[in-house]
Chain A
Amino acid sequence: MLTIANKTFTSRLFTGTGKFPTYQSMQDSLEASGSELVTVALRRVNVKDKDDDMLAHLSHPRINLLPNTSGVRTAKEAVFAAQLAREALETQWVKLEIHPDPKYLLPDPIETLKATEELVKEGFVVLPYVHADPVLCKRLEEAGAAAVMPLGSPIGSNNGLKTLDFLKIIIEQSNVPVVIDAGLGVPSHAAQAMEIGADAVLVNTAIAVAQNPVEMAKAFKMAVEAGRMAYACGKGAISTQANPSSPLTEFLSYE
């Protein structure tokens, strides 16, 4: 079981809602994924409309909505967006995304830290999307972030864990859950993230643009479970030398 800010999750696969061809395929995929935490871009929903199509398709007792601030460029804009999301979607939770770079959507560390400090003061449960920067993750933890969400590679790139070495440091040092977000392109990437000890992963593009999103969602569900199980079992150490079953120094034990 994973706990973030006093909420427990049985599934360690978080999902997104962008890029699906229809709301129905989004709904079916989320169902197949078993996901209990689903991000929603504020830019895509009509918060003034209670019958918004996307929100209607996310209305499921298992699903918790995680509004994201995708589109903002500064801490100030992020705080406005989070406040609106809280009011409209009736949740304290927010995935903080501040990416002034519209090309690779890479997060701004300085504005993210500023916004986290402000939002935590206002009682939000803040999950910041950040580069795989171990020091920044510690600073966010100190600022009160409920979890940290470092990237594996740029959003939508399907490039996998290009930041592997730094993700390992983040996981080793963190006192809050680490959710690896962005860049996971195939189930084996998710399994690898879980094997190194991530608490959860967030996947969107790889599922949404698959030829068969529902089956791909299932595949990610299984990969996350397998990866977590492997991590929990304790992996054998990797060695560059052979470990013979009759070691050369075995005779010394008879001394």
Chain B
Amino acid sequence: MSEFKDLLSQYPPEKVHQALTNVTATRVEQTLAKKERDLEDFLVMISPAAAPYLEVMAQKSRQLTLQRFGNNMQLFAPLYLSNECQNICTYCGFSLDNKIPRKTLSDKEIMKEVEVLKGMGFEHILLVTGEANRTVGVDYLAHAIQLIKPHFANVSMEVQPLDQDEYERLISSGLHSVLVYQETYYRETYKIHHPKGKKSNFDYRLETPDRLGRAGIHKIGIGSLIGLEDWRVDSFYTAMHLRYLEKKYWQTKYAISFPRLRPFSGGQEPKVAMSDRELVQLICAYRLMDPDVELSLSTRETEHFRNHVIKLGITSMSAGSKTNPGGYAAGKESLEQFEISDERSPRKVADLLERNGYQPVWKDWDPILQGTFG
């Protein structure tokens, strides 16, 4: 099986863009009538020609999601350990050239965050850092997992890409899943947005899910940052990446996220805007192509949007998020990665789910299931 890099090179953006433009209404109708849908069908469903069929897609997406996941919604919270970062990323509040106070949590500060998050009811935690290998390298991460693991059912991570042996070490410490977004699959655009730092290496980032798959991780989350480039083309590449990974690392579970660019300290406006309708179209297209994939929504999105989209295919969401290190225990400071949009407490989000006939799922894993103990 060829590497994803080779596969990606066979689909230049212009070719994908052209294919998206060529989709006709008849083709959309044929696709939606199918029982099962592949990557080509995904392209059809995210095309402009599919936009008038949004309600049909939403109905089918809801039905498939209910069958596979039931009336359940997984809840999780991010725990920002550090905002130190050696990269320059044009869209991120943690960017090296952004003159904000930097902070990496000490053991004591981590435990304060743990206490608050436990009090909110969370059992699934996502550890987040910038990329600063000297201060928040693999030793810091391994130590943090050791500290945090006894208190939560499931520990995930969204940090800098690591080598395979480093992932193996963290998995054996109890790490369950890793989220790593390519940001954009456009090689040239990627260069513009990541001019300095280790993150500027497009291929190293692109191959991260392969290293994770080889290391035997339970779950990998992928996605592209919506706003940097044509969202349709980038989403096609993300779906292609998903299909490639599912076939190659068949023992791993996958999750897709849809981060839309948000305002942040010192940031720029998105190059490409994506409307709420378009995001719903994308969510439904994923579900119709892949009934089993986890679809995740963050508090970047507005309360209004989140209230309605829970019924259309989303299976996991964050709640009550703070995107600054120490944010749960210390309160709001100006160290955020990005501004959140839905500021409701986890309890309020859970109430909303219950009112809509959904069961908020706080725990859906146990360390014992991967042979590690709390």
| Chain A interface residues toward B at CB < 8 A | 18-23, 42-47, 69, 71-74, 76-77, 80-81, 84, 100-104, 156, 158, 205, 208-209
Contact = CB atoms under 8 A, between A and B. Distances in A.
B70 A71 contact: no
Contacts of B69: 19
Given A23-B359, A103-B246, 4 more contacts: A18-B70, A42-B368, A43-B364, A104-B292
Nearest to B368: A84
Interface string B64-95: 00111111100000000000000000000000
A180 to B, nearest CB: 19
B71 A19 contact: yes
B369 A71 contact: yes
Nearest to A46: B363
A72 B371 CA distance: 9
A72 B250 CA distance: 14
A167 to B, nearest CB: 23
Interface string B241-265: 0000010001111000000000000
B357 A21 contact: yes
A209 B70 contact: yes
Contacts of A21: 70-71, 357-359
Contacts of A19: 69-72
A43 B369 contact: yes
Given A101-B251, A103-B246, A103-B292, A205 B70 contact: yes
B15 to A, nearest CB: 29
A62 to B, nearest CB: 23
Contacts of A46: 123, 153, 363
B230 interface: no
A77 B365 contact: no
A18 B253 CA distance: 19
B166 interface: no
B173 to A, nearest CB: 16
Contacts of A73: 251, 370
A102 B72 CA distance: 18
A47 B363 CA distance: 11
Contacts of A45: 363
A81 B253 contact: no
Contacts of A76: 371
B67 A158 contact: yes
B359 A77 contact: no
**Which 10 pairs of residues, A with B, have the shortest CB-CB distance?**
A19-B70, A21-B71, A102-B253, A71-B369, A100-B251, A84-B368, A77-B371, A21-B357, A103-B292, A43-B365
Nearest to A99: B251
Nearest to B354: A22
A176 B363 CA distance: 35
21 contacts: A19-B70, A21-B357, A21-B358, A22-B354, A42-B369, A45-B363, A71-B370, A72-B370, A73-B370, A76-B371, A77-B368, A80-B369, A100-B250, A101-B250, A103-B253, A156-B67, A158-B67, A205-B67, A205-B70, A209-B66, A209-B71
Given A158-B67, A208-B70, A81 B357 contact: no
B361 interface: yes
Nearest to B154: A43
B246 A43 contact: no
